[in-house]
Amino acid sequence: MKADNECNVVETRFENGLTVLTDHMDSVRSATLSFLYRVGARCESAEWHGINHFIEHAVFKGTGRRSTLDIAIEQDRLGGNFDAFTTHEETGFVMKVVDEKIDRAFDLMADMLSEPRFLAQDLEAEQNVIIEEMKMTEDVPEEQLGEIFNAALFPENGLGKPITGTAESVRTFNTERTREYFERTFTPENLIITAAGSVDHEKLVELSAGVFGERERGTSGESLKFAKPVAATPFIVKHRGDLEQAHFVIATPFPSATDDRRYAADLLANIIGGGTSSRIWQSIREERGLAYSVGSAATLYRDCGVFALFAATSPEQTREAIELSIAELRSILLEGVTADELDLAKDTARASILLSLEDSLSRAASATGQELTFGRQISVEETLENIERVTSEEMLDIAREFFRTEHIAFAALGDLKGKGLERGQLALE
């Protein structure tokens, strides 16, 4: 194995592919510990749809040394925040504790992720829990619209799949199948162990070696099995007469997380709808009072990106809110962003980055995310320099490439019968 020091993050790479990162912070008593696997929903074939999310749940159901209740009691005793999540590109487990308890936190998390027992009765219970989670999504309009929209935006790609899978697929994850997938996929080359805060690198390496250092690489290559998506341009209006508000999303392709233009793309999304001073917030909420929830965001995957503008408003006001949203995109295309808008976006981004340095949870997430996306660490100084170099001309070039009528995707959910929504409203040119 090899150790290296780049930025403030120290890394060790084991021969079996395991990566260990630490980011030591002086004068703090917190420590955040993260176990992240380089697999998510987009890696799954049809027969395994939802398996990564299922395993995220199932490892809490007990190990050879701990029962389900033991795990629950111990995480409460540690007094920290224990979070687990699955996205389209990763499956992660994160715990923040006081520094004196990091060894115990490591023992708990490593036990769950090295020796899960996957008993039949536990998995059957968790299948029911996840199916109830799916029903919750149907009860939350924003989440239901998101799944409808993603499926239509990426119809031939894993990015369009619900992360939870389906009731039918989840019911197939018995002990044998779950263990088979876990043993060939949740393996050292797919694992990044990160700690930030009051932590010692050599100690974390020692702990990691003791549990994962001698384990063999997997054979599936699951983390690499996804095709670059081609975004579709759906126009979907789904009627739900029981909703008081109509929810809509307008989206276009955008630069990816590895594109050199990612800094400009992120700043542009923030100028359009990233905060209370953004264009659509001011236009739709403050000036006309059409919506409480309105904004935009850039979602940057490893190989593609999506710009999405979203709002919720009364059904009879939906058409006006859409027209105002399109008008702001058209204004960007015709006039670009102002110098004041660019300066404000840079100041906001700089403040967010610098303030995040005070939190071990944010530092751990940053180090892990950079390893996952780039395979290296990007210093704060380099990031701030890249943000400062962004120009309004670069933003205009991005807008002209991606904000085009033929690229626009749209979906709406609500009591929208007879509200006159049509694709022609989305014309930018």
Tokens of 354: 């610098």
Bridge partners for 98 per DSSP: 30
Q: Give the H/E segment covering residue 141.
A: helix 141-153
Sheet architecture: strand order including 81-86: 2-6, 9-13, 19-24, 191-197, 30-37, 91-98, 81-86
**Sole residue written with tokens 């044998």:** 176
Q: Distances in Å between the alpha carbon of 115 and those of 75, 235, 372?
A: 17, 46, 24
Query: What is the Cα–Cα distance from 48 to 384, expressed in whole angstroms?
Result: 41
Q: Are 43 and 86 in contact (CB under 8 A)?
A: no
**Residue 47 is among the residues annotated as catalytic for this protein:** no
Beta carbons within 8 Å of 58's beta carbon, 6+ residues apart = 116, 118, 122, 123, 126, 173, 178
Q: Are 194 and 12 in contact (CB under 8 A)?
A: no
Out of 11, 44, 56, 371, the active site residue is 56
Q: How many CB atoms lie within 10 A of CB 1?
A: 14
CA atoms within 13 A on the CB side of 307: 26
Query: What is the Cα–Cα distance from 332 to 326, expressed in whole angstroms?
Result: 10
What angle separates helix 120-139 from helix 51-58, to the nearest 10 degrees? 120
In eight-state DSSP terms, residue 227 is P
Q: Give the H/E segment covering residue 181.
A: helix 175-185
Q: Are 181 and 123 in contact (CB under 8 A)?
A: no
Catalytic residues: 56
